Structure 1
Amino acid sequence: MSSAKPRLTLSMVVRNEQGRYLRQALERHRQYISDAVIIDDGSTDGTPELCLEVLEGINVKLVRNQASRFSNEIDLRRQQWQETLEVGPDWILNLDADEWFEDAFGSQIESLISREGVYLYSFRLYDFWNMNAYRDDAYWQAHHYYRPFLLRYESGYEYTWRETSQHCGRFPENVYGLHNELSALRLKHLGWARAEDRLSKYRRYMELDPEGANGSLAQYHSILDPEPRLTAWEE
């Protein structure tokens, strides 16, 4: 059996992230990834160049969509999946451009991906409403549940997708058919941390899913709550 360290491939979709959290995220990820597959989904700013700058010295497969495909997310996620498989990953770390793990992840990731017989790890994601606190109320409870972000690719497994235009998932929906475990490591999501981003996302959801068919209309409206319940983060 080979004792080579497993390859950890970062898989990410980005669009117009230059002035947000992308640099901070990639600076953290580059400490432990082997390579990266990045789908630039129609950026009109310097996002693609920023990815190459921060990940200099690491193999990066950068795919540029001339127009955004996010309005039909299942097509975008399938594209991300296929492009990632083409580099022959051992493990796939699927994160968005405004997400990174707590500091302990860097010292524990090698142990996670070196374990035999485990094909998937799920983590709790915390929706930050500012840089120091996350939202915790009836509509924002993602951190109470575990979601898959780290997958060992198994070539003999028949992966299937949730066929919805929005909220289809980042991985095929049947990944839990593989042996999986839960991790206590926490994932920080900064996408809601600025008021202007919250307003932009609210407008996007109302445009793409005005009836809440693929999500929760009540949660969409709660994005603009002027006094949300927040909990201070402790590293």
Structure 2
Amino acid sequence: MSSAKPRLTLSMVVRNEQGRYLRHALERHRHYISDAVIIDDGSTDGTPELCLEMLQGIEVKLIRNQASRFSNEIELRRQQWEETVAVKPDWILNLDADEWFEDAFDGQVESLISRDGVYLYSFRLYDFWTMSAYRDDAYWQAHHYYRPFLLRYEPGYQYTWRETSQHCGRFPENIYGLHNEISGLRLKHLGWARAEDRVSKHRRYMELDPDGMNGSLAQYHSILDPEPRLVEWED
């Protein structure tokens, strides 16, 4: 095991997050990251300034898109990837502005990224429908599976992407060709926790993918379910 502490780079896409969860997310992340690469995807509020404020004292590479690229997500995620690897990170922590790990992550992340021979960690993500409960039913089962969020960058590896306009993935699709492990640490996703956000996201999915070509129409419609099955979070 190397004695040098690996460099952990936060990689994030943000857009109009000033009044949502970004402040809390960055307040948590700043305790364990070395630097950050943030793509501001056409914000019209103070999101870019909030990023710099919350990460003061930490090196931040902030790229500002004048117009949003989210309608063609693969273009946006490629941009995020290229700008992130350009800073030559050791490890990339790829999170959205409404996500953060449970408290135990802070004390364990250094051990994870200091292990030799591991290039990728996957975690379970919980979709919160309130600030204290996550959704668990036929359409919302993300927390039953492990997804990649923490990647050791390997410059010599030939990364390839899933070429779809929506749901292309945050990382290149072939990262599981690298030696990888799963972690029991849990990731909270608060993006569905407010009713107004659910209505907005449902509208956006129906505009961008009305025929369900890149996702599930049934799941899109379930966003507005008036009586979803919720489970209280336990630390």
Interval of TM-score (by shorter of Structure 1 and Structure 2): over 0.9
- Listed one character per residue, the Cα deviations across residues 36-77 of structure 1 (whole Å, up to 9, x for unaligned) are 000000000000000000000000000000000000000000
The aligned counterpart of 2:3 is 3
For 1:86-122, what per-residue CA distance to the aligned partner results, in whole angstroms no more than 9, with x for missing partners? 1110000000000000000000000000000000000
Instruction: Provide the TM-score with structure 2 as the length reference.
Output: 0.99
- Distance in 2 (CA, whole Å) between partners of 1:214 and 1:105 is 32
8 Å contact 2:2–2:114 — kept in the other structure? no
5+ residue gaps, structure 2, are none
Distance in 2 separating the partners of 1:28 and 1:95: 12
Q: Which position in structure 2 is the counterpart of 1:56? A: 56
Provide the residue aligned with 1:162 in structure 2: 162
Aligned equivalents of 2:20, 2:12: Cα separation in 1: 15
Q: Within 5 Å, which residues of 2 pair with 1:204-215?
A: 204-215=204-215
One-letter amino acid of the counterpart of residue 207, structure 1:
E
Show the counterpart of 1:91: 91
SS in 1 for 2:129: strand
Count matched residues.
235
Hey, which bits of structure 1, 4+ residues long, moved more than 3 A? none
Quote the residue 1:176 is aligned against. Answer: 176
The gaps in structure 1 that reach 5 residues or longer are none
Give identity over the alignment, percent. Answer: 88
Alpha-carbon distance in structure 1 between the residues aligned to 2:141 and 2:60: 34
Q: How large is the RMSD of aligned CA atoms in angstroms? A: 0.7
2:233 aligned partner, one-letter code: W
What residue in structure 2 maps to residue 101 of structure 1? Answer: 101
Give 1:192's aligned residue: 192
Task: Provide the residue aligned with 2:117 in structure 1.
Answer: 117
Show the 5 A alignment for 1:123-134.
Answer: 123-134=123-134
Label 1:107 to 1:62 Cα distance change in 2 as closer, same or farther (>3 A).
same
For residues 2 and 195 of structure 1, what CA distance do their matches in structure 2 show? 47
Q: Residue 46 of structure 1 corresponds to which residue in structure 2?
A: 46
Q: Distance in 2 between matches of 1:129 and 1:26?
A: 21
C-alpha distance in 2, partners of 1:26/1:151? 19
What residue in structure 2 maps to residue 150 of structure 1?
Answer: 150
Deviation at 1:2, TM superposition (A): 5.3
> What corresponds to 1:13 in structure 2?
13
The one-character-per-residue Cα deviations of 1:156-200 (angstroms, maximum 9, x if unpaired) are 100000000000000000000000000000000000000000000
Distance 1:198 1:177 in 2: 35
Q: 1:102 to 1:2 in 2, by over 3 A?
A: closer
